[in-house]
Amino acid sequence: MKRLVVIMLMVVFLISGCSIGGDDMVADGNSLSNSSNVGLFYGDEGSIYFSNWNHAGLFKLDSKDGNIDQLLEGNTFINLIVDGDWLYYVIPTGAEQGIYRMGKNGSNNTKLISINANNLNLSKDYLYFSVSFQDGGIYKMSKSGGETIKIIDEFYATSLHLIEDWIYYINNEDFTINRVSTDGKVKEVLADDTIDKIVMDKKWIYYFDNNNLSRISHDGRNKEIVTESDEMEFNRQMNVKDEWVYVFARNPEKNDAYLYRINTETKEKEILYNGLARHLHIIDDYIYFYAGEYNSELQLKKINLDGSELDTIGN
């Protein structure tokens, strides 16, 4: 069962996108770009909700006393979002595939729709998400469920970020950065490089481009290279807060791997963690991530944004 869950997460990692929009940090200190890393952790009122694929479950961590409660079991849970008293999530594959919501204590668990959804976003009264391939497009639906409305046809859209009246995403047919108005009336191509992943803050779009880390403003102008590639290869793992971009890189030939941060203004680099670091989520002053190889027992860890206070979550 564990191997099956890990394989499913490897698939959804390639197609997942971002969470609720508005600033580089959203409610309760969650980074705008956490769901660009599959949305496996979400902070709310001192609790951390997280998906643990070692044990195929959805859990709640009390960040003060370290107590962990299991809310759901037996599935892969992604795109976690808390809104008021509700926790929204997606089951991306299998017979139970769809968008769900439940009470934050695990009660009233309800499937809102059976659909192959990814990249779940929430803004005001609507959920926004993408569907790939034959039914491809970006959709919205009332956060209480009901009819879906297609905003735009798009065969394979990933890395959705919802900011103000725009949805930003990667078109994975031609690997361009695009944005579409939330009413679907205006679509713009912002960058036509070969884009691998995007994260965003209140001013910039950061992306991997031929193993360089680059950025453009929200209107597609002012392209800059933040850092050029070296012997280390970026591995689709990235997040951003304030003037720092947090990146995982590795050199398979030398068996080197580390998590580091880059100051976007001074270009200063600081190594924070030596080892494999996947699915980087920022909540308040901490990075939450998975450590290890996919084919082994992955560890859930957290570390301060400056590299101090490394800790393992659960077992």
pTM: 0.89
**Looking at the chain, how many residues does it have?**
315
Q: Is the CB of residue 120 less than 8 Å from the CB of residue 112?
A: no
In sequence order, what are the beta bridge partners of 41?
A: 50
The mean pLDDT value of the chain amounts to 87
Portion of the chain with pLDDT greater than 90, in percent:
65
Q: What is the pLDDT of residues 52-70, one digit of tens each?
A: 878 889 999 998 888 999 9
pLDDT exceeds 70 at position 21: no
pLDDT exceeds 90 at position 185: yes
pLDDT exceeds 50 at position 127: yes
Which of the given ranges, 16-30, 81-95, 198-212, has the highest pLDDT on average?
81-95
What whole-number distance in Å separates Cα of residue 72 and Cα of residue 104?
A: 11
CA nearest 117: which of 86, 157, 174? Answer: 157
pLDDT of residue 225: 92
Q: Is 27 left (phi over 0), alpha (psi -120 to 50) or beta?
A: beta
pLDDT exceeds 60 at position 23: no
Classify domain 2-223 by CATH architecture: 6 Propeller (2.120)
Task: Tell me the mean pLDDT in the region 127-153.
Answer: 93
Domain segments of the chain as ranges = 2-223
pLDDT of residue 236: 73
Q: What distances in angstroms separate CA 298 from CA 3, 38, 90, 270, 293, one per listed residue?
A: 11, 16, 21, 24, 7
What whole-number distance in Å separates Cα of residue 162 and Cα of residue 33?
A: 10
In sequence order, what are the beta bridge partners of 170?
A: 158, 177
All residues at 6 or more sequence positions from 39 whose CB lies less than 8 Å from its CB, including other chains:
16, 19, 78, 79, 80, 81, 120, 281
The tokens describing 138, both together, are: 């970006």
CA atoms within 13 A on the CB side of 174: 9
pLDDT exceeds 80 at position 200: yes
Task: Tell me the mean pLDDT in the region 117-127.
Answer: 92
Provide the residue type at 309 as one letter.
E
φ/ψ of 59, rounded to 5, equals -130, 165
What whole-number distance in Å separates Cα of residue 220 and Cα of residue 178?
A: 9
Portion of the chain with pLDDT greater than 70, in percent:
89
φ/ψ of 36, rounded to 5, equals -70, -15
The tokens describing 73, both together, are: 């079991």
Q: What distances in angstroms separate CA 41 from CA 49, 82, 100, 110, 118, one per listed residue?
A: 6, 10, 16, 20, 16
